């Protein structure tokens, strides 16, 4: 299930508090995390403080009594991550003014920071009741609703944000993420696409759309969206993203059983990240699946250079050498694998046995297969070895009869 970014919604960011300094601290100076009625922030912005500048000042009840003292205390507690103490201070501030934006939003953030989402929902509902068209407050409420399991109410809250700010791509992305959180992949498509209509280079929206298409099994659609992301990464010369996205597309083609297309994308990923064992392995396996044994050998050799401590890589390379008729090389690499194998090495012994069988050295082949058959840590190859040992017995007997007839 895709996760709605909890940074989108609630609370004073400690990073922001430190950056702005307590002396002149104002929660309004923190980055907006939602699509507030006074501005817009990136959809994946850091968890941030409530934007207390959102409602107009003349709508806020004048601060009375010791409310400012409690708010100052709460800010200090938040700075030191003492959320329980912050909750107490914010509650005292709310008791003085139950519509004070900072008091309510700060209390909600402190509650979400302790995992008390049910109470946070109650607090944020009061905030929204006081400021019904403030999209920042609605964003806080939507997140708390998601976390408390009120999925449908959360979705309705995010829908309200899109109604208030229909021209904000971030608002549509948040709605799409809420649907993704709920596991409603089909419902993600419209808001994510709407976000892209408003902002064609909106990477987060396109990535979410691609991921949801993949979940739905619509692999050609997913590949199309990932290719858009790949093109953008190419244009920005972002090699890390190129490697990651090209690898993902390659894996999608593997799911489509299109090994040749998969190889092309894995090779592109390798250009951007030439020392990645994961990419090299996928190239080797894809060539192997497509029947191109010689290219598979090339990349298994490279894989062994990158990860020399994996016996299974040596064994697969040995099997390929046997298939290509290069039996001495098959034995050589299999023995290297056996030397580092902490187990019995049934698969490696079978590689050696098969190399001898191909050379018609049946006694030596039988010896290797019998060793493999006695292994207890790999029953699949042990069973295979028992059958092969019996075959060597038959081949040895056939040779004996042929020699006998020759006499």
pLDDT computed for residue 89 by the predictor? 96
Which residues are within 8 A (CB) of 369 and not within 5 positions of it... i.e. 6 or more apart? 349, 350, 353, 385, 386, 388, 389, 392
Interaxial angle between packed helices 169-181 and 135-147, expressed in degrees from 0 to 180 and rounded to the nearest 10: 10
23 vs 166 pLDDT, higher one: 166
Over residues 90-115, mean pLDDT: 96
Q: Write the DSSP symbol of residue 398.
A: H
pLDDT computed for residue 28 by the predictor? 28
Q: Write the DSSP symbol of residue 45.
A: P
Question: Of 63, 33, 60, nearest to 45 (Cα)?
Answer: 33
Structure tokens that stand for 204 in this block: 């987060």
Over residues 43-58, mean pLDDT: 37
CB count, 10 Å around CB of 1?
9
pLDDT computed for residue 187 by the predictor? 97
Question: Of 382, 336, 335, 391, nearest to 363 (Cα)?
Answer: 391
Please state, for a pLDDT cut of 90, what percent of the chain lies above it: 80
Interaxial angle between packed helices 379-406 and 362-373, expressed in degrees from 0 to 180 and rounded to the nearest 10: 150
Over residues 288-308, mean pLDDT: 97
Over residues 185-203, mean pLDDT: 97
204 vs 40 pLDDT, higher one: 204
Structure tokens that stand for 122 in this block: 């109650």
Radius of gyration of the chain (CA): 32
pLDDT computed for residue 66 by the predictor? 84
pLDDT surpasses 50 at 1: no
- CATH number 3.90.850.10 is the correct assignment for the domain at 1-180: no
Confidence of residue 314 (pLDDT cuts 50, 70, 90): very high
pLDDT in tens, 62-97: 444 589 999 999 999 999 999 999 999 999 999 999
pLDDT computed for residue 43 by the predictor? 32
13 vs 95 pLDDT, higher one: 95
pTM over 0.85, yes/no: no
pLDDT computed for residue 148 by the predictor? 95
pLDDT surpasses 50 at 204: yes
**Under the phi-then-psi rule, with left for phi > 0, alpha for psi from -120 to 50, and beta for the rest, what region is 252?**
alpha
pLDDT computed for residue 386 by the predictor? 95
pLDDT in tens, 229-260: 999 999 999 999 999 999 999 999 999 999 99
pLDDT computed for residue 7 by the predictor? 34
What is the overall mean pLDDT for the chain? Answer: 86
- Domain extents in the chain: 1-180
pLDDT in tens, 133-165: 999 999 999 999 999 999 999 999 999 999 999
pLDDT surpasses 90 at 6: no
Confidence of residue 403 (pLDDT cuts 50, 70, 90): confident
Residues 90 and 84: their CA atoms lie apart, in Å, by 10
Confidence of residue 29 (pLDDT cuts 50, 70, 90): very low
pLDDT in tens, 257-278: 999 999 999 999 999 999 999 9
Structure tokens that stand for 156 in this block: 């309705």
């Amino acid at each position: 299930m895709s996760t709605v970014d909890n940074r989108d919604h609630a609370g004073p960011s400690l990073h922001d508090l430190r950056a702005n300094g307590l002396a002149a601290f104002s929660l309004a100076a923190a980055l907006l995390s939602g699509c507030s009625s006074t501005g817009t922030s990136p959809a994946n912005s850091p968890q941030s403080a409530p934007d207390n500048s959102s409602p107009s000042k003349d709508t806020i009840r004048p601060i009375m009594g010791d409310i400012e003292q409690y708010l100052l205390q709460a800010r200090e507690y938040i700075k030191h991550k003492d959320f329980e103490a912050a909750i107490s201070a914010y509650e005292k501030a709310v008791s003085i003014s139950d519509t004070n934006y900072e008091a309510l939003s700060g209390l909600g953030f402190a509650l979400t920071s302790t995992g008390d989402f049910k109470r946070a929902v109650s607090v944020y509902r009061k905030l929204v009741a006081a400021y019904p068209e403030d999209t920042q407050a609605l964003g806080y409420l939507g997140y708390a609703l998601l976390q408390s399991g009120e999925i449908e109410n959360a979705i309705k809250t995010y829908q309200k944000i899109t109604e208030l700010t229909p021209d904000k791509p971030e608002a549509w992305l948040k709605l799409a993420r809420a649907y993704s959180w709920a596991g409603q992949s089909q419902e993600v498509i419209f808001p994510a696409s709407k976000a892209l209509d408003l902002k064609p280079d909106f990477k987060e929206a396109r990535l979410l759309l691609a991921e949801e298409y993949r979940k739905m099994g619509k692999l050609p659609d997913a590949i199309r969206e990932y290719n858009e992301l790949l093109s953008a990464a190419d244009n920005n010369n972002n090699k890390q993203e190129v490697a990651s996205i090209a690898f993902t597309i390659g894996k999608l083609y593997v799911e489509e059983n299109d090994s040749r297309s998969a190889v092309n994308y894995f090779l592109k990923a390798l250009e951007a990240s030439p020392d990645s064992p994961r990419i090299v392995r996928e190239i080797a396996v894809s060539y192997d699946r497509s029947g191109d044994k010689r290219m598979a050998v090339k990349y298994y050799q490279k894989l062994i250079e990158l990860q020399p401590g994996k016996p299974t890589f040596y064994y697969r390379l040995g099997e390929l050498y046997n298939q290509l008729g290069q039996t001495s090389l098959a034995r050589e690499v299999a023995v290297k694998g056996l030397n580092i194998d902490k187990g019995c090495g049934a698969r490696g012994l079978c590689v050696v046995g098969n190399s001898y069988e191909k050379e018609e050295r049946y006694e030596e082949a039988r010896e290797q297969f019998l060793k493999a058959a006695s292994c207890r840590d790999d029953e699949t190859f042990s069973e295979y070895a028992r059958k092969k040992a019996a075959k060597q017995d038959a081949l040895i007997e056939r040779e004996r009869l042929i020699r006998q007839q020759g006499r």
